[in-house]
Amino acid sequence: MTVTKGSTYIMANTSEASVSASRPRIPKPSELSKLRSQIQAVEDMEDMSANVAMDAAYVEEDNTDQTPVVLPFARPLKNMSEIRHFFRTNQTPIYFIGATPVNLLGLDRWVRKFSYITYYDGWDGHHPRVFTPSEKPYVEFQSAEEINNWLLENPEVREYIDSRRTPGGPRPKIAMVFFDEETEAICEELGYDLILPSAELRNELDSKIVTTRLGNEAGAPSVPNILGRANTYKELQKLADKANLGSDLVVQTPYGDSGKTTFFITSEETWNQYSKYIIDEDIKVMKRINNRPVAVEAVLTHCGTVVGPILTELAGYKELTPYKGGWCGNEMHPDVLNDSQRHRATELVRRVGDGLRKTGYKGFFEVDVLVDTDTDDVYLGELNPRISGASAITNVTAGAYADIPLFLFHLLEYLDVEFSIDVDEINERWEEMSGADIWSHMIIKETDDIVQYITHAPRTGNYVLDSKGKLQFVRPALDWHQLQNHKEAFFLRIYGVEDYRWKGADLGILVTKAKLQFTGKKKTRLSIDAKHLISSIRSQYRGIDVPPAESDDK
């Protein structure tokens, strides 16, 4: 068997061939192994039951003939106690759909009838709120949107959603990170509500040019810049001179991942290296600054913009990703910014929310903020009009447990409920709490140039560094919300036994209450403990090398 290798592909297992019904089919060794794993997992669930039992959101009515009586508020929700009550008694089915549930994992602790529909299931069917189709034919997905659309159209998924609908009750609500116009059409046909701003509006806001103009109008300025076009190095210099940007320039094109559409130009030589990506494009030309980038998530409600915690990012570490500059995680800790910088960053994000309101946008968004380390100025970097990778730890902050997780403000905007909250008071309190907690997560990719059929993989659950410093599996767990200290970690497996791994594949996600980066005299690097965690998890993956595909020229 040969497998196509590529960093943009999501590999699915090949479906098994049908067999004659005239005799019982003999199970393959791999299937027997699966059965044994399922038996073991059922036994493991006894250990997990204490985690499940503590959250009323996990309790469902098995008897569908008995509908619980929930008395709705006759007035708008006006405080956190009433909002928490609303979500704990929620009767609207809400689904997060994606390749994995990582972005919003754990919100089912807060919201009744909140479930996850995913392509990969790190719990092998034993998470009570994660559903994965059992039949997954081999598919080479080219994007996250394709995965989500495939899931929505899958017969098993549709049956799963429809079986949980109450006749005459509310329509199912669907949330996801990436979607397109096809996603909207599928949801419309199936009678689902996609509780996100329109794909058309999101695509427009994804433009770095549009973001810059929006920020300028809202009082959230970017790094000193000028917008325009340049088809020669001389034209680029002339454009930069108009804004007194100097000769050390950063040039961005409107769309695409910033790591692939941002170019550092200092001379005609570097212009010639990147000009094919810049010519005939609208561009943003910026002065190059020394900066500290941070990520801030927020939710635009009709009461104002609720601003979440401030996180720094992990990017480009060769231990985690083979891609230069590639994002591979986030950290939240007291030293990300000082009090003054934190306040100004919060205010900048609130102003971006004010600008978004004029476009008709509502709900969740993320802002990349740049702090100039030479001048201490705070600038708007980029706008991501969606749930982001940082969401995984945004929802477990001290502020979230004092009030509600940030994403629940998004749900309030899209559910049939009236509410009135003091956003200024929430932001003030959350800003004070933002330096009181430590959370980090990292995405562990395959970094070796290999293609392997996986025969052994680490389990999803809680791990601990023992007295000898060895990472040990402790117990199955549903999420990372119960981690207590820096010696503990939660690992969410993505690729498991009988899947394939290749250079660039996401193996899994590790969450911990420890800082993963150390800022030395010369530069910031992964901490010794972070490298130990990575190598410990990676060592648990083993497999059989797959020979390269044979050439068609033979």
| CATH number of the domain enclosing 356 | 3.30.470.20
The single-letter DSSP state of residue 220 is -
How far is residue 452's CA from residue 291's CA, in Å, rounded to a whole number?
A: 40
Looking at the structure, tell me whether residues 294 and 430 fall in a common domain.
yes
Contacts 24+ apart (CB under 8 A), 365-368: 365/297, 365/298, 365/299, 365/300, 366/295, 366/296, 366/297, 366/298, 366/390, 367/295, 367/296, 367/297, 367/298, 368/258, 368/293, 368/294, 368/295
Single out the residue in 179, 196, 213 at which a domain terminates.
196
Which residue type occupies 213? R
Supply 221's token pair: 């300025």
Count structural domains, the chain. 4
Q: Are 362 and 487 found together in one domain?
A: no
Closest CA to 403 of 423, 388, 418, 387: 423
Q: Do residues 512 and 428 both lie within one domain?
A: no
Looking at the structure, tell me whether residues 100 and 189 fall in a common domain.
yes
pLDDT at 11: 38
Quote the tokens at residue 27: 């199970």
Q: Are residues 350 and 431 in the same domain?
A: yes
Instruction: State whether 316 and 419 are in the same domain.
Output: yes
Return the half-sphere exposure (C-beta side, CA atoms, 13 A cut-off) of residue 271. Answer: 16
CATH number of the CATH domain containing 274 = 3.30.1490.20
Rounded to whole angstroms, the Cα distance separating 395 from 360 reads 25
> Three-state secondary structure along 295-343?
EEEEEEECCEEEEEEEEEEEECCCCCCCCCCCEEEEEECCCCCCHHHHH
Identify any residues that bridge with 329 across adjacent strands, giving them in sequence order.
314, 442
Whole-angstrom distance between the N-terminal and C-terminal Cα of the chain? 17
CA nearest neighbour of 306 among 149, 431, 222: 431
The per-residue pLDDT for 373 is 93
Do residues 541 and 457 touch, judged by C-beta distance below 8 A? yes
Is residue 26 domain-resident? no
CA distance 280 to 292: 31
β-bridge mates for residue 439, sequence order:
332
Clarify whether residues 405 and 525 are in a common domain: no
Contact in structure between 517 and 313 (CB atoms under 8 Å): no
What letter represents residue 364's amino acid?
Answer: F
Do the bridges between strand 378-384 and strand 363-372 make them parallel or antiparallel, or are there none, so unpaired?
antiparallel
Please state whether beta strands 451-456 and 500-502 pair in parallel, antiparallel, or not at all (unpaired). antiparallel
Give the domain-ending residue among 435, 462, 479.
435
Tens place of pLDDT for every residue, the chain, 554 residues? 333 333 333 433 322 333 333 333 334 445 445 545 554 554 454 444 434 433 545 445 444 444 545 555 667 899 999 999 999 999 999 999 999 999 999 999 999 999 999 999 999 999 999 999 999 887 888 999 999 999 999 999 999 999 999 888 999 999 999 999 999 999 999 999 999 999 999 999 999 999 999 999 999 999 999 999 999 999 999 999 999 999 999 999 998 765 678 899 999 999 999 999 999 999 999 999 999 999 999 999 999 999 999 999 998 899 999 988 788 999 999 889 999 999 999 999 999 999 999 999 999 999 999 999 999 999 999 999 999 989 999 888 878 888 999 999 999 999 989 999 999 999 998 888 776 789 999 999 999 999 999 999 999 999 999 989 899 999 999 999 999 999 999 999 999 999 999 999 999 999 999 999 998 877 889 999 999 999 999 999 999 998 876 655 55
- The model carries a pTM of 0.85
Same domain, 415 and 310: yes
Domain that holds residue 274: 224-287
Check whether residue 242 and residue 319 sit in a common domain.
no
Instruction: Note whether 336 and 246 are same-domain residues.
Output: no
Which three-class secondary structure state does DSSP give residue 469? Answer: coil
Give the pLDDT of residue 399: 80
3-class secondary-structure state, position 405:
coil
Q: With 0-12 CB in 10 A as exposed, 13-18 as middle and 19+ as buried, what is 42?
A: exposed
